[in-house]
Amino acid sequence: MKAVILVGGLGTRLRPLTCNTPKPMIPLVNQPFIEWMLLRLRDQGISEVVLAVQYLAERFRHAFGDGSRLEMKLHIVEEPEPRGTAGAVKNVEHLLDGPTFIFNGDVMTDLDLRAMLAYHQEKQSKVTIALTPVEDPTQFGLVETERDDRVKRFLEKPRVEDITTNLINAGTYVIDPEVLRYVPPNQFYMFERGLFPVIMQIGDPMYGYSTRAYWTDIGKPQTYIDVHHDILIGKVKYDFRGEQIADRVWVEGDATIHPSAQMVGPVVIGNGTVIGRGARIIGPTVIGPGCQLGTDVSLEGAILWEKNILEEGVTIRNSVLGANNTIGAKTYLTDGAIIGDDCSFGAENRLERGIRIWPGTILGDKAISF
C-alpha cells in the first residue's frame, strides 16, 4: 500500500514558527510532525510513501533520505512549480498503483487507516474522503452526503449561508489512481475545487467516511498549542518516546533535574536538558532537547523547542518558544505568545496575548510590557 503526503504550502499562518522550518518539519512533542506521521503510516501497513514537496526538499532529504532509517521506502519529489493538491499527486502518478492514500500534511489525526481502506473497498469507491465534524466549516471543505454516504456536494471554504452540515473534508483520501486521468498534467489543479466537483458531475462513486477519530489542522498557532495539550492529556492515541520517570513525566535520553524542581505531569523533557533549582513545571508542557532552565523558572502549558536558555525566574504559560532563544530573568511569556528562533530578550519583559516575535529579535531589559 502506498501513500502520498502533500507537504507544499508556506505555512504562513504559523509564522514565525515556520520562518526557518517548513510546516511539516516543526516539532510535535520533540519530533518533526511529518516523522510522527510517517511512523503512523508505517505502523498501519503503508510502507512506501511519496512526499510531494514544493520547496526546501533538501530539508526533507537531509532528515529522512530514502526512508531506511524509518524502515520504509520514501520518495521525495519536488514540483517544478506549485501544482496544487491534485496536480501534486498527478506529478507523482508514475509511482502509484492500486488504491492509494493521500494526506494533507498538516493534519493531526489518529484515524484508523485500515478501516478506511476496507470501507473504500467495500463500497467499490473511486474516491473516499475522510470526514470530521467541526464547529465552523468556513475554513474547510464542506462535504454533503446522501444517506448511503455517497458525496452529494463538495464546497471548499463555504460561505456561512451555504453551510448545510458540520462535516468537512478531513484531508485524508483513498483514491483509485485511475481518477487522475481527469487531472490535467503539468498544471495547477486542486482536488477541492477541481477533481472532486468533476467526479461528482461524471458520476464516479465517491464516498464520505465519517468517524469520531481525533482530528485537528495544526496550521494555526492556537491549534498547534491545542494539539500538544491534547496529546499530553491523552485525547489522542500517541506513543510517548523516552522513559517515564514519574507520573506522566517522560524524559527522552538524559536530563539533569534539580531535586527541588517540582513537576506535575503531563510533561515531556528532551535529551540533554537541565532544569534548575526551584523550577515549577506544570503540564501539559513540552521542553525540547538541550534547554537550560535557571532557578525558579515556572512553566505551564508551555511548548519549548530545542536549545533555549531561560534565566532565573522566567515564566512561560500557554505559549510557544522556537529554538535557540535566550530569555532574560523574570521575563513573562503568557496567553499564546509565539516566539520564533534565535531571539535574545533581556530581563523583565512581558509578552502576552498572542504576540508574535520574529526570529532574531533582540530586546533589552524591560523593553516590552505588552
Compute the least distance from the CB of residue 222 to Mg ion, in Å.
14
Task: Find the helix or strand (DSSP H, E) in which 282 lies.
Answer: strand 280-282
Number of residues that bind Mg ion (CB under 5 A): 3
Nearer to ligand GDD, 192 or 342 (CB): 192
Stretches 69-77, 104-112, 266-274, 331-339: which one binds Mg ion (CB under 5 A)?
104-112
Nearer to ligand GDD, 171 or 266 (CB): 171
Compute the least distance from the CB of residue 244 to Mg ion, in Å.
33
Compute the least distance from the CB of residue 48 to ligand GDD, in Å.
17
3-state secondary structure of 58: helix
3-state secondary structure of 242: coil
Compute the least distance from the CB of residue 138 to ligand GDD, in Å.
10
The type of residue at 136 is D
Q: Which of Mg ion, ligand GDD, none does 84 bind, CB closer than 5 to 8 A by kind?
A: ligand GDD
Interface pattern 59-98 for Mg ion (x via CB under 5 A): ----------------------------------------
Compute the least distance from the CB of residue 228 to ligand GDD, in Å.
18
Task: Find the helix or strand (DSSP H, E) in which 226 lies.
Answer: helix 221-232
Task: Find the helix or strand (DSSP H, E) in which 154 lies.
Answer: strand 151-156
Compute the least distance from the CB of residue 236 to ligand GDD, in Å.
16
Cell for 59? 530539508
The residues with which 315 forms a beta bridge, in sequence order, are 298, 332
The answer to the question of residue 221 lying near Mg ion (CB under 5 A) is no
Cell for 294? 535557571
Among 79, 106, 176, 252, binds Mg ion (CB under 5 A): 106
Q: Which of Mg ion, ligand GDD, none does 54 bind, CB closer than 5 to 8 A by kind?
A: ligand GDD
Compute the least distance from the CB of residue 141 to ligand GDD, in Å.
2
Can you give the binding site for ligand GDD, defined by CB under 6 A? Answer: 6-9, 52-54, 79, 82-85, 88, 104-107, 140-141, 156, 168-169, 171, 192, 217, 219
Cell for 309? 536558555
Cell for 265? 505531569
Nearer to Mg ion, 23 or 307 (CB): 23
The answer to the question of residue 192 lying near Mg ion (CB under 5 A) is no
Cell for 79? 514540483
Neighbours of 114 (CB within 10 A): 11
Nearer to ligand GDD, 35 or 312 (CB): 35
Considering only CA atoms, which of 170, 169, 156, 191 is closest in space to residue 52?
Answer: 191
Q: Which residues are CB-neighbours of 53 under 8 A, at least 6 positions away?
A: 7, 8, 22, 60, 76, 77, 78, 79
Q: Which residues of 344-364 are buried (b: 16+ CB within 10 A; e: fewer)?
A: ebbbbbbbbeebbbebebebe
Nearer to ligand GDD, 8 or 16 (CB): 8
Q: Is the peptide bond prior to 284 cis by the omega test (within 30 degrees of 0)? A: yes
3-state secondary structure of 244: strand
Compute the least distance from the CB of residue 7 to ligand GDD, in Å.
5
Neighbours of 69 (CB within 10 A): 11
Nearer to Mg ion, 156 or 335 (CB): 156
Cell for 236? 489522542
Nearer to Mg ion, 22 or 219 (CB): 219
Q: Which of ligand GDD, Mg ion, none does 82 bind, CB closer than 5 to 8 A by kind?
A: ligand GDD
Nearer to ligand GDD, 199 or 297 (CB): 199
List residues binding Mg ion (CB under 5 A): 106, 217, 219
